[in-house]
Amino acid sequence: MEQTLSIIKPDGVKKGLTGKIILMFEENGFEIKAIKKVQLTKKEAEEFYYVHKDRPFFDSLISFMTEGAIVPMVLSAESAISKNREIMGATNPKDAKEGTIRKMFAESIERNIVHGSDSPESSKSEISFFFNILEIL
């Protein structure tokens, strides 16, 4: 079994989509190994998205990710990383397939409801950013 980090972003939480998104993960065979609700500080969001620090959208992304609570969770399944990315859909909702989370709920490429790790390396570091080993069951 592989693990990946999913985050329901501030737009998803504000729109009351937390339960619906968790249900989609469970119905698609994911086990929720850990979950919490937190609000990131600017410093924490900058650390989490450090790889994007030189992108033109970085400041706007940090402001969005700190505007409200988020729900990070550890998902487990076979090929969890790629499976989660399929269920989320493309980063830009305009390019996302029908039935994906972003196609159904996202407003824009930035306010795109969910985040998912994109590789085994990022999954490992993103999971440990939010959860310690005792919190993953």
**Closer residue to ligand CMP (CB): 9 or 134:** 9
Size of the site for ligand CMP (CB under 6 A): 8
Among candidate residues 115, 117, 127, 131, the one labeled active-site is 115
Q: Which stretch binds ligand CMP (CB under 6 A): 30-38, 69-77, 104-112, 123-131?
A: 104-112
User: Helix (H, G, I), strand (E, B), or coil: what is residue 23?
Assistant: helix
Binding residue for ligand CMP, selected from 2, 39, 44, 61, defined by CB under 6 A: 61
Catalytic-residue membership of 52: no
* CA 51 – CA 112 distance, rounded (Å): 18
Residue 114, phi then psi, degrees to nearest 5: -135, 155
**Closer residue to ligand CMP (CB): 50 or 57:** 57
Q: Under the criterion CB under 6 A, does residue 83 sit at the interface with ligand CMP?
A: no
Q: Under the criterion CB under 6 A, does residue 115 sit at the interface with ligand CMP?
A: yes
Instruction: Give the strands of the sheet with 2-8, arranged side by side.
Output: 31-35, 71-77, 2-8, 114-116
Give, to the nearest 10 degrees, the angle between helix 18-27 and helix 80-88: 130
Rounded to the nearest whole angstrom, what is the least distance from the CB of residue 31 to ligand CMP in the complex?
22
* CA 38 – CA 126 distance, rounded (Å): 15
Q: Under the criterion CB under 6 A, does residue 50 sit at the interface with ligand CMP?
A: no
Nearest CA to 16 out of 83, 81, 84, 68 is that of 68
Interface with ligand CMP (CB under 6 A):
52, 57, 61, 91, 109-110, 112, 115
